[in-house]
Chains A and B, each alone.
Chain A
Amino acid sequence: MNFDLSALRQQFPFFSAHPDWIYLDNAATLHKPQAVLDAMHQFYRNQNSNVHRSAHGLSQQATAAFEAARNTVAQFLNARYAHEIIWTSGTTAGFNQLVFGLMGPVLQAGDRVLISSMEHHANIVPWHIHAQPFGVQLDVVPLTAEHRFDLAAFTELLKLKPKVVSISHVSNALGHIQPINDIVRLAKAAGALVVLDGAQGIVWEKVDVQQLDVDFYLFSGHKLYGPTGIGVLYGKTQYLELLRPLLGGGEMIKTVSFSASSWNDLPYRLEAGTPNMAGAIGLAAAILWLQQQDLTAFQHHKTALLHRFYTGCQQISALELLSGPTTNAGIVALNLKNEHPADLAALLDQQKIAVRAGTHCAMPLFQALNVKGSVRFSFASYNSFDEIDRTLTALATAVELLAE
């Protein structure tokens, strides 16, 4: 396996700043390699000027760098055109634009949208805000007994003829990888537009939007080793063109009079205001960095970390594991019987293990599971087996303290 963990870790300055912590909150945000920090620093030092606006050479250089970043993302996703990459501030912002934009041109009163029980609030609340008040109905694909996406129930629900199917690529609360190929195929056969929430999936495996034939794919830079405040809404040209812009302002228009405005072409039409230029540069740097890594080795390593942790947890009988060990992108959600997840997480925090407790922005999922929440351990390429072992020891200490 072409994988040198210590060389990898050395590329992440955060770890030398916090040598005593074990960071297992990677599903919340990833740390950034030096290459990303350098690219952003370099942009501000050498290239900073507003893009697209000014005729001067400096602005043209900044614009070239910014558009090169868009090309990098387009190639990464294998999008047909660079204008199919819309910069957003993150997955959440992308969903708000998408749902708002679909209302009217695609969705009307009486139409249905199909999501799953495992969705993040970013793929639930925008539907509540922008679609439900106008008569759009949300249907929900249930969980199987193993807390997986229920393909059989999905097939049944498709008979209700949803106009849009919007599903997470990987569940952020459980780590389970959804059967996205089947989801896209079946949904398209039923005549729906398909949206995938790639916030957790994009860092797990190579995504080829053309091969997958997905209509929209969204992700956040900060969960892909990139900076915060930047994200991507990918869409097929024909569908992006339908979207009504959520934000109006500079750059997104062709002409404006006091009474009306006409909109610019893609991608600018959906990118009002001065964009996050340094963020785009940083995200492109993260992608270029990732393309130099061995993604398969990353997958194997994360799976090995997961299995080591999972097996360790199975030795502690009072733990209730909500995640399964297979088809899992590196997340273990668990509870200690009869104890609140916040207590377990606080005792881990005392031992400098960074995990997340609660409902992980997926409250409906926990209502479906009928538990208060969970403690979530999420693993990344840069975590070590030693960290897993120390976490298991800390977990045992916490469990003992709570059992007293």
Chain B
Amino acid sequence: MIRPDIFTETASALKNIYANHLPQLQQLKDWQSKYRILMTLGKALPAFDSEWHRDEFLVQGCESKAWLLHYQDPVTNQHFWAFDSDARIVKGLIILLLVQLNGLTTEELAHAKPELLLNELQLQQNISQSRSNGLLAVLNKIKNGVRSHC
């Protein structure tokens, strides 16, 4: 069973990251400091039940594994996610996508370009080059999952 709280808890953790860590990341210049923060972002998320590490939630990446849960509020049409990855950097990068996408409606998501932030932060110059670390696969899953709901 998916505990519904996981979506509200993840949402508030993501808001927190957006408010606190993102401005920090935007100020930093050297890659080491940026990666130090990136690699700790995962710790701010609520615990992801190992029971949810199921194949049905697995996003087929290449090097690392990522599990993505999705929920759409039937009243507001907002989309929410909870997720986990077994690699820290890709987890941090996905969090930086989710802080921008979580809580958006289908319509809003269609226009979102969350990869621009990674580009601006100089963390992933080109999302299409991230095929091997699974980032692109997760982004596609986020977008396709939404489409199938509308």
Sample of 23 A–B contacts (CB below 8 Å): A339-B88, A340-B63, A340-B64, A340-B86, A342-B63, A342-B64, A342-B90, A343-B39, A343-B87, A343-B88, A343-B89, A345-B63, A346-B89, A346-B133, A357-B63, A358-B63, A358-B132, A373-B63, A401-B32, A401-B35, A401-B36, A401-B39, A402-B88
Is A341 part of the binding interface, using a Cβ–Cβ cutoff of 8 Å? yes
CA distance A251 to B111 in the complex (A): 52
Does A372 make an interface contact (CB < 8 A)?
yes
Within 8 A of A (CB), among B1-58: 31-32, 35-36, 39
Q: Which positions 86-114 of chain A face chain B at CB distance < 8 Å?
A: none
Binding site for B on A (CB under 8 A): 339-343, 345-347, 350, 357-358, 372-373, 397, 401-402, 404
| B112 proximal to A (CB < 8 A) | no
Interface positions, chain B 103-134, Cβ under 8 Å from A, are: 132-133
Total contacting residues, chain B, CB less than 8 A: 15
Residue on B nearest A373 in the bound complex, by CB: B63
Contact B36 A404 (CB under 8 A): yes
Which residue of the partner chain B has the closest CB to A358? B63
State whether B39 touches A402 (Cβ < 8 A): yes
Q: B89 touching A342 by the CB < 8 A rule?
A: yes
B-side residues, CB < 8 A to A, are 31-32, 35-36, 39, 62-64, 86-90, 132-133
Q: Are A342 and B39 in contact (CB under 8 A)?
A: no
Q: Which chain B residues border A402 with CB–CB below 8 Å?
A: 39, 88
A339 to B88, alpha carbons, bound, how many Å? 8
Which residues from A are CB-within-8-Å of B90? 342, 346
Most buried by B among A340, A347, A358, A373: A340
Residue of A nearest to B34 (CB): A350
Q: How many A-B residue pairs have CB under 8 A?
A: 40
For the complex of A and B, 4 pairs with smallest distance between CB atoms:
A340-B87, A342-B63, A342-B87, A358-B63
With A340-B64, A350-B31, A401-B39 known, 5 other A-B pairs at CB within 8 A are: A342-B133, A343-B89, A358-B132, A401-B32, A404-B39
Give B53 Cβ to nearest chain A Cβ, in Å.
Answer: 13
Q: How far is the CA of A350 from the CA of B124 in the complex (A)?
A: 11
Question: What residue of chain B has the Cβ atom nearest to residue A372's Cβ?
Answer: B86
Q: Tell me whether A340 and B32 are in contact in the complex, defined as CB-CB below 8 angstroms, given that A346-B133, A358-B62 are known contacts.
A: no
Name which residue of chain A comes closest to B61, CB basis: A342
Contact of A347 among B35, B62, B86, B132 (CB under 8 A): B35
Q: How far is the CB of B38 from chain A (nearest CB, A)?
A: 10
B-chain residues with CB within 8 Å of residue A401 when the two chains form the complex: 32, 35-36, 39
Most buried by A among B62, B86, B87: B87
Which one of A342, A347, A357, A397 has the greatest number of beta carbons of chain B within 10 Å?
A: A342
Q: A residues within 8 A CB of B64?
A: 340, 342
Residues in A with CB closer than 8 Å to B39 are 343, 401-402, 404
What residues on B are CB-neighbors of A372 within 8 Å? 86
CB distance from B29 to the nearest CB of A (A): 14
Q: How far is the CA of A402 from the CA of B87 in the complex (A)?
A: 11
In whole angstroms, how far apart are the Cα atoms of A341 and B36 in the complex? 17
**Complex contacts, B132 vs chain A, CB 8 Å:** 358
Residues of B within 8 A of A346 (CB): 89-90, 133
Q: How far is the CA of A261 from the CA of B39 in the complex (A)?
A: 62
Complex interface: chain B residues within 8 A of A342 (CB): 63-64, 87, 89-90, 133
For the complex formed, measure the closest distance between the CB of A202 and the CB atoms of chain B, giving whole angstroms. 26
Chain B residue numbers with a CB within 8 Å of A397 are 32
Contact partner, B63, options A339, A341, A350, A404, Cβ 8 Å: A341
B86 contact set on A, CB distance < 8 A: 340, 372
Nearest CB of chain B from residue A404's CB, rounded to whole Å: 6
The smallest beta-carbon distance between A340 and chain B, in angstroms, is 4
The answer for the CA separation of A340 and B31 in the assembled complex, in Å, is 19
Q: Which residues of B contact A358 (CB under 8 A)?
A: 62-63, 132
Q: In the complex, what residues of A have CB within 8 A of residue B89's CB?
A: 342-343, 346-347
Tell me which residues across on chain A come within 8 A of B35, comparing CB atoms.
347, 350, 401
CA distance A38 to B35 in the complex (A): 42
B93's nearest neighbour on chain A, judged by CB, is A346
Chain B hits for A341, CB < 8 A: 63
Q: How far apart are the CA atoms of A372 and B64 in the complex, in Å?
A: 9
Min Cβ gap A402→B in Å is 7
> Which among A339, A346, A372 has the highest number of chain B CB atoms within 10 Å?
A346
A401 to B37, CA, bound (A): 10
CB closest residue in chain B, given A340: B87
In the assembly, what is the distance between CA of A373 and CA of B64, in Å?
A: 9
A345 to chain B, nearest CB (A): 8
A401 to B38, CA, bound (A): 11
